[in-house]
Amino acid sequence: MSVQNSDKTPSRKQRLQEKQRRQLAVVDMVDKAEAKARRAEVELAVAVTEAVQVFGDEQSASEGLDMPLEAVRRFLGMAQDEGTGADNAAGADNTTGAENAAEAGG
């Protein structure tokens, strides 16, 4: 009878497998969310770069966007780190990429 009883209750191995399955599912969900957040940050960085160009300088963009100057600079750095890959992915115009390259070089 005890054999029948153990058939109804998941074994330690089954419990461990289920726990691992749930853990892997959560890790996968977090990985996907992080990837989405990264893409959104890159998109925001490209938009902030364009805002700086439209407003004329970082300080004016900071005020116009109601965003701390440090955040503007962080996004500018992020956009520069992404290079032309971010420009192409976001569909930005060539002027943005050229101006970024000019700023980096000079």
Residue 3 forms part of a structural domain? no
64, part of any domain: yes
Q: What are 15-53's pLDDT values in tens digits?
A: 999 999 999 999 999 999 999 999 999 999 999 999 999
CA–CA separation, 54 and 101 (whole Å): 17
Q: Given this model, what pLDDT does residue 102 score?
A: 41
**35 domain residue, yes or no:** yes
Domain, as residue range, for 23: 11-105
> Between 3 and 11, where is the model more confident?
11
Tally of domains within the chain: 1
At residue 94, what are phi and psi to the nearest 5 degrees? -70, -25
Which pLDDT score is estimated for 10?
87
pTM above 0.75, yes or no: no
In-domain check, residue 1: no
Domain annotation covers residue 97: yes
- Coil, strand or helix at 57: coil
Q: Give the model confidence (pLDDT) of 44-60 as tens digits.
A: 999 999 999 999 999 99
CA distance 15 to 6: 13
Residue 4 lies in a domain: no
In a domain, 58, yes or no: yes
Establish if 2 belongs to a structural domain: no
